[in-house]
Amino acid sequence: MKAKFICGVIMLLALCVVLMPYSAEAKVSRERKANQLSNPKASPEARKLFKELLSYHADGKILSGQMWAPWGIDEIEYVYKTTGKYPAVRGHDLIHERSNAREVELLIEWYGKGGIPTLMWHWGAPTKGEGYEQSKMQIDIKQCFVEGTPENKAMWADLKRVAVWLTKLRDAKVPILWRPMHECDGDWFWYGKGTGEDFVKLWRTMYDYFTHECGLDNLIWVVPHSDWIDPSYNPGREYYDLAGPDTYRKEWQGDLYKKIRNIYGEDNLIPLHECGTIPDPDECKANGTMWSWWMLWHTMHVTRHDKEDLRRIYNHEIVLTLDELKRAK
């Protein structure tokens, strides 16, 4: 009996020795996956930028961001003249073909200065043309996936057209925080008027085409939720790199951060990828809503902000600006 017991103990110890390396390896694998981009062929520039985002977050910092528009004031210069600082993240929109060349040119220039570029796409509903109003029109989304339909042909034409601009950024070795189909789970844009399943199919179609066929390895994919945050719009871990909300209601910001974290996990960097009011950095620090970055919308959303408060935010100890970025030094 005693011999059987000793034999059993020896076998158990041997099994533990055998399994320990695999358990450790599995743990490392999980940790590595959380810190990796979804595209295994991501460019060195994209990998470096993502690593920097992780580093800033680990240091308890939040990146400042400002959206730019090709009309009215120059929002980026307005911020500098008001605060003495440039934002870390500069936002642009591929909304009109007539202005896309300028949008891309400014992003290349911004990255050259050490800044972080982010790009969205107000995608006009296939068959409806381009522009903001067209992005709100309704179509039968399922027809986009039926080969030969007008919607299908228009969808592929749109993707190919936008891929041209993203290719220019790739060829210039510029990594992009890419947030297409923003406010994806709201019902005001065409891609949110269907079901979560419809959106996921659209997202994955775009991801696969841009990543595997076009070789756009400079993209860091940001799932751009609205402040409704429907979990059925999560495209799946293999199809995104970050996820965050968009809101124009300051009082909702803290709850939205928690909702995103509950859906995507605590290891997901959470940007407030678009907002009408900048989160107060003191409140962020106090309640743990440590955004990866925030990006204030353009025109009146920046000019109506109290100038003294804007200066306070841009000079806050946890808010990073262009001059404080690793590549800008």
Predicted confidence pLDDT, tens digits, the chain (329 residues): 444 444 444 444 443 433 333 333 233 333 336 689 999 999 999 999 999 999 999 999 999 999 999 988 999 999 999 999 999 999 999 999 999 999 999 999 999 999 999 999 999 999 999 999 999 999 999 999 999 999 999 999 999 999 999 999 999 999 999 999 999 999 999 999 999 999 999 999 999 999 999 999 999 999 999 999 999 999 999 999 999 999 999 999 999 999 999 999 999 999 999 999 999 999 999 999 999 999 999 999 999 999 999 999 999 999 999 999 987 65
For residue 217, the one-letter residue type is D
Pairwise CA distance, residues 89 & 212, whole Å: 27
Residues with catalytic roles: 183, 274
Pairing type for strands 246-247 and 242-244 reads unpaired
Give me the pLDDT at residue 113, please: 97
Q: Which domains does the chain have, with CATH numbers?
A: 44-324 (3.20.20.80)
Residue labelled with tokens 């591929």: 94
Pairwise CA distance, residues 159 & 181, whole Å: 12
Dihedral angle at the C-alpha atoms of 213, 215, 219, 222, nearest 10 degrees?
Answer: 20
| Length of the chain measured in residues | 329
Give me the pLDDT at residue 329, please: 53
CB 90, CB 66: distance < 8 Å: yes
Helices (H), ranges, the chain: 2-34, 44-58, 75-83, 97-112, 132-135, 150-171, 196-208, 253-264, 281-287, 300-303, 307-314
CA-nearest of 142, 139, 144, 141 to 128 is 139
Left, alpha or beta for 183 (phi > 0: left; psi -120 to 50: alpha)? Answer: left
Give me the pLDDT at residue 38, please: 97
Give me the pLDDT at residue 328, please: 64
Q: What are phi and psi of 200, to 5 degrees?
A: -60, -40
Pairwise CA distance, residues 44 & 58, whole Å: 21
Give me the pLDDT at residue 327, please: 75
Question: In whole angstroms, how far apart are CA 158 and each of 14, 42, 147, 193, 288?
Answer: 59, 23, 15, 19, 40
The burial of 156, by beta-carbon neighbours within 10 Å (0-12 exposed, 13-18 middle, 19 or more buried), is given as middle
